[in-house]
Homo-oligomer: A and B are copies of this chain.
Amino acid sequence: MFSLSEENYLKAIFHLQKHSKAGVSTNALAEEMQTKASSVTDMVKKLSDKKLVVYKKYQGVYLSEAGRQTALQIVRKHRLWEVFLVEKLDFSWDEVHEVAEELEHIKSEKLISELDKFLDYPKRDPHGDPIPDAKGNFQAANKTLLSNLSKGEKGTLVGVKDTSSEFLKYLDKNDIALGKTIEVLDKEEFDGSMLIQIGDRSLRVSTMVTVNIYIKI
């Protein structure tokens, strides 16, 4: 249906447009796609011709409904494959991303519906992100960043914003994992760092950490 490159662009636009209601800028997309702005302009024109995005020169780009549905299916495949890699093949959550980045492009309806069944219809991927169903529906958890909690508040770790291998390994090393309860013992107003209680230990974490962890209260 669509080329690998088109699919990756659609997914990138999908992720970027969550952060604001304005159109996704050429530069932001170039940054996300690790390419040049001029290449982005070319591709965005092509996607526009195919009615997958709405694009006006210098005004940024938006997904059309068709584009959004396509992006959602790629996200669905990406996250289902991540679950497969972690649950069945003993990958850790910091190792799955680049492989899923390739697997998400395999073209087979049956493959993905059977994989979904095989994994017992998971609702979230290893990073806590929701997995859209075959129709593109998913429930976005009501979650907040750890950085938004005040001293004394607590909640459950339900997701990570930064899914880089470095960050995930840092979390592993400190026994910070999905499902754990975190309580804010103290918050340093100066730099936003926190002393948190997690399991039976307390630990001081920087803002770099607190702005990348999602908590459900």
Measuring CB to CB, which residues of chain A are less than 8 angstroms from any residue of chain B?
85, 88-91, 95, 98-99, 102-103, 106-108, 110-111, 114-115, 118
Contact check, A106 vs B114: say whether CB atoms are below 8 A apart: no
A99 contact from B85, B95, B99, B108, Cβ within 8 A: B108
Contact check, A118 vs B99: say whether CB atoms are below 8 A apart: no
Q: How far is the CA of A30 from the CA of B98 in the complex (A)?
A: 33
Contact check, A99 vs B88: say whether CB atoms are below 8 A apart: no
Known: A95-B110, A110-B95. A89 touches B118 (CB 8 A): yes
Residues on B with C-beta less than 8 A from A108 are 98-99, 102
A89 contact from B103, B106, B114, Cβ within 8 A: B114
Q: How far is the CA of A162 from the CA of B90 in the complex (A)?
A: 36
Contact check, B106 vs A99: say whether CB atoms are below 8 A apart: yes
